[in-house]
Structure 1
């Protein structure tokens, strides 16, 4: 996903331009810190206490020049209009958040309002058109049949292997369909510009599985599949990029 995001940023903005980035639901700040290291001014928003504490700790370990480019706000991301003025950001990230929001349209519209004209909105969502893939490949035929008729999704229990922090797990997790989000983005004047699949081949791999020796080849295969039909359409996650008109 990082490669996909960088492709969209480099294709929209001049090389060397310092961007204003808003990362809503930043987790422990992986993308926020990466972009700050590249010279961008980043505001990270996170609701979970453990996650934002981990992000603050990570920021504190960075050199001063990077620390001063990062601002952290504890919030659920649905009140961006309270914290920021419309048009305040060149790039808005919202990765892995919509699956925990019952009605995503108001949140997406609020995020789009934060974008300056020509700004990039990056969404990472659970793919509601491919929910039968994981149970089907795992031999859970009843689960596969049930998944065709729902957008409800219960993620596997797992722990962030790098930080030992439990990943957000809620019984009301849900997924989004590509056609519905495409219509939403068009309706809020940030039409879909590009989209990718994420975790096309690796969604069913056990969390405890060791990283393979040929991980770069694995990433190359995932990246190629994530931009190629029909593979990207059955990815576990979708990465959608809208552009503010």
Structure 2
């Protein structure tokens, strides 16, 4: 299916929520840990030659583009929310191109594929996340890599059980967010089997997968100390790509390769 067949539909964008993201996500230990773990996983499995062009699709506040720039890469950030884009430009300055567009529009209008593509915590805010993988495949050059991170439905179910929301799970009610308030429960959480199936059907090879925050979100201690956070980061890094722990990561991170011959 070509890029022209896709429309934004009822995807959720984040105008009006930039401050909440900055404070409750990236200003908290969970957001800082998420960034450090996914960056570690990328370094371990995706080659990052200095000077390589990188597309940060759904780049939000610009944290991954900023990291890529410090790694010696040449990022371009694409984000549909005007408010998020303003914040990203403040962080990145004029040296990083920032484009206001959703995935569907950018995939339709992009002139050439990219050797490195980053798409983190975006698919779960799409009404039809399965439609993203063919578009991301088209944006990734042959021999290139896609760093994909998604919100894990199995972890959402486990979290609800641990927190005592038993009736909701027993009854089989939807655990997804509705996208109509300021809560940040995604509208389309997905399973590993779904993501792997979509990626392989699009033509990607999955070279590595890791759970991101496999322990942090289940701690009884709501405000871990600096010592505990340091110990936790070590344990997350040690066990995040091992069975059975990675399967319960709040997010799943995939290193996907587009073969040269495709």
TM-score range, shorter chain: 0.7 to 0.9
Residue aligning to 1:164:
none
Q: How many residues align?
A: 225
Query: Residue 226 of structure 2 aligns to a residue in which SS?
Result: coil
Q: Is the 8 A contact 2:150 2:252 kept in 1?
A: yes
1:113 aligned partner: 138
Q: CA 1:10/1:208 → structure 2, altered by over 3 Å: closer, same or farther?
A: closer
Q: Which digits, 9 at most, give the CA deviation of each residue in 1:30-64, with x for residues without a partner?
A: 0101111222111101112221111111123xxxx
Change (3 A) 1:226 1:11: closer
Q: Equivalent residue of 1:209, what SS? A: coil
- The correspondence of residues 68-87 of structure 1 with structure 2, limited to 5 A, is 68=95, 70-87=96-113
TM-score normalised to structure 1 length: 0.80
| Change over 3 Å in CA distance of 1:215–1:130 after alignment to 2 | closer
Please give the residue correspondences for 1:85-234 in structure 2 after superposition, counting only pairs within 5 Å: 85-87=111-113, 89-146=114-171, 150=174, 152-154=175-177, 169=183, 173-204=187-218, 209=223, 212-234=226-248
Which sits farther off after the overlay, 175-184 or 216-225? 216-225
Contact 1:126 1:236 in 2 (8 A): yes
* CA distance 1:22–1:169, shift in 2 (3 Å): farther
- Output the TM-score relative to the length of structure 2: 0.75
Q: Cα distance, 1:144 vs. partner?
A: 3.4
For 2:216 and 2:163, the matched residues in 1 are separated by 13
* Larger helix proportion of the pair: 2
Say if 2:55 and 2:116, in contact at 8 Å, map to a contact too: yes
Return 5+ residue gaps in structure 2 as ranges: 1-33
Is residue 58 of structure 1 aligned with residue 83 of structure 2?
no
Once residues 48 and 208 of structure 1 are traced to their aligned partners in structure 2, the CA distance between those partners, rounded to angstroms, is 31
The structure-2 alpha-carbon separation of the partners of 1:169 and 1:19, relative to structure 1 and needing over 3 Å to count, comes to: farther
RMSD (Å), alpha carbons? 2.9
Structure 1 residue runs of 5 or longer lacking an equivalent are: 61-66, 157-166
1:13 equivalent to 2:47? Answer yes
Aligned residues of 2:77 and 2:99 also touching (Cα < 8 A): yes
1:63-113 Cα deviation digits (max 9, x unpaired): xxxx42x110011222223342242x1111111111111212222211111
Alpha-carbon shift at residue 121 of structure 1 (Å): 0.9
Does structure 1 retain, via aligned residues, the 8 Å contact 2:152–2:190?
A: yes
SS in 2 for 1:218: helix
Q: How far, CA to CA, are the matches of 1:236 and 1:172 in structure 2? A: 12
Whole-Å Cα distance in 2 between the matches of residues 232 and 106 of structure 1?
25
Spell out, residue by residue over 1:144-175, the C-alpha distance to the aligned partner (whole angstroms, 9 max, x if none): 3246x75x42399xxxxxxxxxx974677121
